[in-house]
Structure 1
Amino acid sequence: PTRHAGRGGLGAVMGSKGLKAIVIDITGAEGPEYADKEAFKKITRRFNQALQKHPVTGQGLPRYGTNILMKIIDDAGALPTRYFQMGQFEEVEAVSGEKQYEIIKARGGKIGHPCHKGCVIRCSRIYPDKNGQYLTKGPEYETIWANGPNLGINDLDAIAQIDRLSDDYGVDNIEVGNAIGIAMKAGVISFGDAQGAIDLYHQIAKGTPLGRIIGSGAITTAQIFGIARVAAVKGQSLPAYDPRAVKGIGVTYATSPMGADHTAGYTIATNILGLGGKIAPLTKEGQVALSKKMQVITAALDCTGLCLFCALMMADEPKSWDDLIEMINARYGWQWTTHDFFVLGERVLKIEREFNLKAGFTPIDDRLPEFFYEEPLPPHNSVFDIPDEEMQSVFEL
């Protein structure tokens, strides 16, 4: 299965330099050096055992993958539907993780596929077509949302085909899904038109006039079709959680350096899943501090090379933080403490913030699109109401 560097334009930078791929040949490589290899292996085993025992990383993700979230987020009224018009999809069962599991098992696909040889979470899967032939990996929750409920589409096979096309054509299917949502709002095709959405992906690859518009992303698509209501921050489209129903993630979208990035400070863990405590998703109180803390943790965790999903277990297991620091020290021979880990995260965020300021971003870019503040989202009929001044405290590191 394919693996991706994710969103944010890295592929566009590679393309602009004529760089198609990076291939690493490890033949004859000696591997990394360890200050204390035996200690590192012992701590790693303990850390992995904690991952395997946790209900999310040891049960939910291996069985249902990231799409375990579909019904959870829908139940919370936070699933953006038909391009952020409502928070629940009436046909959510048809695109749920449970339904995806049934299809994969019935067709002889693979559940619990590891992204690399040492992965113990194994949240990926192999999705076959109706003839049992490989179609795509996953698809992941974000892909299914962006090209499913977001477009009023309830066909997992069509979404899996879109996922395969997005891999083959090299596009971000969250961004393209949002661009197609805008095209649907503009009447180019209708909500629910799966074949029409597939055709638009093909048009991107063919370079037709319409394909070039959609392939340029949501903001360009909206500008050309005269749509003022665009769900994007710093040029990047929002992912699969409506910030009116989960206000912590709204703070992350607005203030994270890359723009609307759920992985930069995943408050869903606490707001919805109740990991590491609980802050109600609809309240204003505590959301800025929660997002800030999670952004710092994520920035540091990314530096270690650990999977972000490790943080889901770590939120519930305080001892795992000690294990993480011991792993770092056994690997490099350092004398780090948890304080050093948080300082690392703060330093990363400061550097990224400084880059944005030098690139011309201002506090105006650190907020959500206006309609999130003005349009109540069914079923809770809530709006995003955290003041800009309060969100600016995220940058006080």
Structure 2
Amino acid sequence: MKMFKALSKQLFGAKYESISKSLAVAVIVFAAVRGMEVQLEIAPPVLWLASVFVAASAMWQTLAGRRHMETVQGMLVLPYENRRFVFFYVTVLGMHALITKTLPVWALFSAVAKWSCPDMLTALLCGCMACTVSAAVYRMWRKYHIVLPLLWSAGILAVLLLTRRIVPVLVTALLSIAAAAVYLRSADAFDFYNAASAEKTARRRSGRGNIAVYLIRYLMANKNYLVNTAGLCAFAVFLPLLFRQIPGMNMFPFGLSVLCLNTPLCTLLSCDPDLERAVRALPGQSRWFGRRYCLFLFAVNGVVSGIYLCGWQILNGGNMWLHGGTVILFALSGAVLSVILEWRHPIRGWKTESDLWHHPRKYIVPLIMLLLAAFLDWMTR
């Protein structure tokens, strides 16, 4: 139990403050949405799919996080029993994913729709399945076993999407948890330790360096950042089709405001305290780094917004020059605000990259962009 307690304090805090914060957020979300008296008809498979995706993504982010690898590296130095360590490690990470990330989602679903007790229990079991299967798939992925994880994931999704009944989903979840537990019995603690993520290489270069090269290498070394950007690009393709069904409003700027939510790229200094200290300590580096960081975010926002613009023109048409200027305005404004916020108010005290990327600060820039979009919609009426 000492290992379980040590791992829990590493993720939840010395006094388990993350649990109380997550419970408070869940209560606030439930009360706020329920107070709005919004009631929707949502099919149970939607709740189950949301539980699987949120829990699995949070679990995977924690397993692959660099800050977490540093914690694991320190704990592996101590004497431990291999099977107990793996069991406690997966259990604590799963609890962290369910309590801090999935619980607010369940609160939101509970506030907007009525669910039966079997539906909620199935959602809980789906979340547990997602965490255990993610740990097993992560180990397979580290060993370059690609086909089986893909087939396993596809099978789970097929059951959730095609059967739409509780019994098959429960059976699939229980069998998947059992299979993952059997597979992880033979796992070694070092199967979850990524030395490349924990180690930091320092390279000395003459001159001032090239921040663009650094940012590109940073993206290549942190594949989650690329995945998030690729997800935004895919979302930008479907947004014009979604907004096409909302008449009476100029929805084009609203889509641009949503696409500013590229959290990993907007927390570059928060996720790397060493880089932040170096930039703040060296004279003249803040402006030099800030300008290039802003241009980098502007370029990324421009690419994502450009995809959205192309889709909008194909499906909905409109003034190309006006929309192009709006894209530049939102991409530049989002980049400038993100850099200012990151420099003035960096995120402190986070335990894992998942905590960093789900910090409430991420919604400030999109909220400002939404207000700007509402103003533009009012101006164009």
Q: TM-score scaled by structure 2? A: 0.31
Higher helix proportion (structure 1 or 2): 2
Larger radius of gyration: 2
The one of the two structures with greater contact order (alpha-carbon pairs below 8 A, sep at least 6) is 2
Q: TM-score scaled by structure 1? A: 0.30
